[in-house]
């Protein structure tokens, strides 16, 4: 017997438009239809969500940790499950666990764990993001400079082999450490190449975009900035229409005025997308943790090394949506798209994620009118309910 139900009682945002007085019908883990409430078939289960709104689940392309776990410290399936579970209460239904620059052995373990998570269909697991080690030491941020190195033939082969076993593989590289020809080979093999942690100029960034790079990692952070004679990587991210750009919208990494300027100036069709760059702290009360043997401190809404360097973000996705909507002034439907449809488009997954249409994944977030998370479904299964002590 098929599992079929209808969610009612809330405004529905399908990724494009709003629907009032309608129901979201789910069958066997997929969206079946959006119907007027009067047209709901009599033989299916009806769930009243009690007001608020329903929206496509959030898609986070940069998640270093959560639930007290960092992927770097424990590159295994159990950690991936913990990270996905920790982010579900904040509306994230699909994410890329992210490995920060590490040793070849840790990288291999993370890839193996990702492959196993894909086979086991871990709820919320979308693929992997390997942020480094092929970056620029000049823009290392919190990455360990000892572990940063140029890409080799073996590294390229590893990425291609991993992509064959993962639904999505994204890697952040810097033009200083990787040749454009390698990017072309990786892109042809289906690896999503993002430029970041780089001091490169506009011309080089443009050349890498032409070679197949399609994203920019955490816009404005750990990259060359816009200048009067050199637009830098930040300028390339905004001006080149084929580059999607991740944005950490917490009011700490990028000033709200700068975000407004970037949103007005961004050339399409690619978009600016919300990412959390979240660390182990999400879903916990912990005040510090370690990365590559260095302590990172949680204070005043930020995560920093002892020298004050920002080290990821203490941010969840619904908080990013609220910030971009309430502080930056982005219209709510666009803020929701920045957290769901646009990241899905950036990684070629908008046919199944980021929108409600017949056959898309029933990844759903129920929000109150105040944009608090009330409930979350992944593949039609409820994994979080406000007021519950457990997350499935």
CA distance readout (Å), 103 to 107, 149, 215: 6, 10, 24
Nearest CA among 113, 126, 107 for reference residue 62: 126
Q: Are 51 and 369 in contact (CB under 8 A)?
A: yes
Q: Are 286 and 298 in contact (CB under 8 A)?
A: yes
Size of the chain in residues: 392
155 tagged catalytic: no
Residue 382: strand pairing partners = 377
Which position among 277, 314, 316, 363 bears the catalytic label?
Answer: 277
Nearest CA among 171, 187, 325, 178 for reference residue 256: 325
Beta pairing, strands 53-56 & 364-367? antiparallel
Q: Are 110 and 148 in contact (CB under 8 A)?
A: no
Query: Residue 297 class from Cβ within 10 Å (0-12 exposed, 13-18 middle, 19+ buried)?
Result: middle
Please state, in angstroms and rounded to a whole number, the distance separating the CA atoms of residues 150 and 307: 26
Largest CA distance in the chain: 66
Reduce the secondary structure of 213-256 to three states and give it as a string: CCEECCCCCCECCCCCCCCHHHHHHHHCCCCEEEEECCCCCCCH
Please state, in angstroms and rounded to a whole number, the distance separating the CA atoms of residues 295 and 313: 14
Query: Residue 347 class from Cβ within 10 Å (0-12 exposed, 13-18 middle, 19+ buried)?
Result: buried
Query: Which residues are identified as catalytic?
Result: 277
């Amino acid at each position: 017997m098929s599992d079929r139900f209808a969610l009612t009682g809330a405004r529905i945002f399908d990724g494009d438009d709003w629907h009032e007085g309608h129901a979201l019908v789910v069958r066997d883990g997929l969206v079946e239809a959006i119907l007027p409430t009067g047209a709901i078939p009599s033989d299916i289960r009806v769930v009243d969500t009690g007001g608020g709104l329903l929206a496509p689940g959030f898609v986070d392309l940069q998640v270093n940790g959560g639930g007290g776990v960092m992927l770097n410290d424990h590159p295994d399936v159990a950690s991936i499950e913990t990270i996905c579970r920790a982010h579900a209460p904040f509306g994230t239904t699909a994410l890329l666990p992210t490995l920060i620059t590490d040793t070849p052995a840790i990288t291999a373990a993370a890839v193996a764990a990702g492959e196993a998570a894909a086979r086991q269909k871990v709820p919320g697991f979308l693929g992997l993001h390997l942020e480094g080690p092929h970056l620029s030491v000049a823009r290392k941020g919190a990455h360990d400079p000892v572990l940063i190195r140029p890409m080799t033939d073996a590294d390229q082969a590893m990425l291609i082999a991993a992509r064959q076993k993962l639904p999505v593989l994204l890697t952040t590289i810097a033009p200083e450490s990787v040749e454009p020809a390698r990017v072309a080979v990786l892109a042809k093999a289906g690896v999503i190449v993002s430029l970041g942690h780089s001091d490169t100029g506009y011309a080089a960034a443009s050349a890498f975009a032409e070679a197949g790079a399609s994203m920019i990692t955490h816009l404005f952070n750990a990259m060359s900035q816009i200048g009067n004679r050199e637009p830098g990587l930040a300028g390339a991210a905004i001006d080149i229409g084929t580059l999607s750009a991740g944005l950490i919208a917490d009011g700490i990494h990028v000033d709200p005025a700068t975000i407004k300027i970037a949103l007005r100036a961004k050339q399409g069709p690619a978009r600016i997308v919300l990412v959390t760059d979240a660390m182990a702290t999400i879903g916990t009360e912990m005040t510090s943790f370690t990365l590559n043997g260095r302590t990172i401190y949680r204070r005043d809404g930020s995560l920093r090394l002892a020298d004050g360097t920002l080290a990821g973000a203490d941010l969840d996705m619904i908080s990013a949506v609220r910030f971009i909507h309430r502080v930056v002034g982005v219209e709510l439907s666009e803020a929701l798209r920045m957290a769901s449809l646009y990241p899905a488009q950036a990684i070629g997954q908008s046919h199944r994620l980021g929108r409600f249409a017949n056959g898309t994944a029933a990844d759903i977030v129920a929000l109150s009118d105040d944009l608090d998370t009330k409930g979350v479904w992944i593949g039609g299964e409820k994994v979080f309910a406000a007021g519950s002590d457990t997350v499935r």
